[in-house]
Amino acid sequence: MVIIPAKTFVASFDVHAQYTFTQMCKDELPVEGGTEIVDELNAQARLAKVRIGSKEAHNPKAIWIADEQHPQLSSIEGENVDVRWNAHAMPGTKGFQLIEGLPKVTDYDYFVWQGIELDMHPYGACYHDIAGKLSTGVIEFLKCKNIRTVLVGGLATDYCVKTTALQLLQAEFNVVVNLGACRGIHAKTIADAIDEMRALGAQFVNSASQLCLEAS
C-alpha cells in the first residue's frame, strides 16, 4: 500500500496510451497487453484532482523511420534522435488514437502532443527534446495546480513511461508508477527501467487499489 496526499494535491498521467503501442497496430510498435491498461488508468484518475494525457504525433517523413536499409533500433545521428523505429503514431491513423475507454482528448485537464518535427523523437512527455530544454508545459501546469504527487501509467514501461517518470522526479514531484496501468516491451528492459526509477525515488504499485489517500 502506498499512501498519497489528499486528492487536491494529486495528478494522474496517461502517457502515450495510444493504439500504436498495442497489438491493434502490428506493423507499428505493438506492446503485448497494451489495450489492457485502460481500467487501471481510469481507476488511478479517480484519485486525482487533474488528469493529464499525452500522445506521440509523428510525421511520415521523419528521419528516424526504419526501412530495409536501416532496420529498427539501428543508430542514427542527430541531436534529438537516437535509434530508428517503425513508422508509428501518425495523425489520422488508428495508431494515433487513444485506446477505447479513455477520455476524449478534450476531457483531459492538460494534454501534450509531441514528436511532429522530422528530426525529433523524444520519449518523455515533459519535454519536446531529448536534452530536456524545451518544455511541453506539463511541469509548469502541475506546479501551478499545486500538485505534489503524480500517478503515472501508460506505454511503454521501459521507454516513454520511464523517461516521463524520471523527468517528473527531476522536477521534484513524488512519483508513483502504477504497473497495472503500464505494459512494456522486454522483461529485461522493464526490470532495468523499474530499478532506474526506484533508484531516483519512484514508488510502485501493482494496481490503483494499492493507493490510499492520506487521512485529513
Residue 40 lies in a domain: yes
More confident: 176 or 5: 176
* Residue 216 included in any domain: no
Q: What is d(CA 203, CA 174) in angstroms, rounded to the nearest whole number?
A: 8
Which amino acid does the sequence have at 200? L
Domain with 177 in it: 2-209
**pLDDT for position 216:** 57
Specify the 3-state DSSP secondary structure of 160: helix
Give residue-wise pLDDT tens across range 171-215: 999 999 999 999 999 999 999 999 999 999 999 999 999 999 886
Question: How do residues 111-170 score in pLDDT, each as one tens digit?
Answer: 999 999 999 999 999 999 999 999 999 999 999 999 999 999 999 999 999 999 999 999
Is 182:147 a contact under the CB 8 Å cutoff? no
Strand order in the sheet with 149-155: 110-114, 50-56, 10-15, 149-155, 174-183, 203-205
| pLDDT, position 213 | 85
Q: Quick one: cell of 128?
A: 519536446
Q: Is residue 214 part of a domain?
A: no
Distance, in Å, from the CA atom of 23 to the CA atom of 172, rounded to the nearest integer, reads 35
Query: Residue 214: what pLDDT?
Result: 83
| Residues contacting residue 201 through CB under 8 Å, at least 6 positions apart | 169, 174, 175
Q: What total number of domains does the chain contain?
A: 1
pLDDT tens profile 45-78:
999 999 999 999 999 999 999 999 999 999 999 9
Residue 11, Cβ neighbours under 10 Å: how many?
26
In a domain, 58, yes or no: yes
Q: Which residues contact 132 (CB under 8 A, 6 or more apart)?
A: 124, 126, 167, 170
Whether 27 maps to a domain, the answer reads: yes
- Per residue in 18-51, pLDDT tens? 999 999 999 999 999 999 999 999 999 999 999 9
End-to-end CA distance of the chain: 17
Determine the average pLDDT of the residues in 107-113.
98
Distance of alpha carbon 163 from alpha carbon 105, whole angstroms: 22
CB 56 within 8 A of CB 37: no
Asked whether residue 130 is domain-assigned, the answer is: yes
Residue 215 lies in a domain: no
Domain containing residue 43: CATH number: 3.40.50.850
**Within-domain flag for 158:** yes
Cell of 120: 525529433
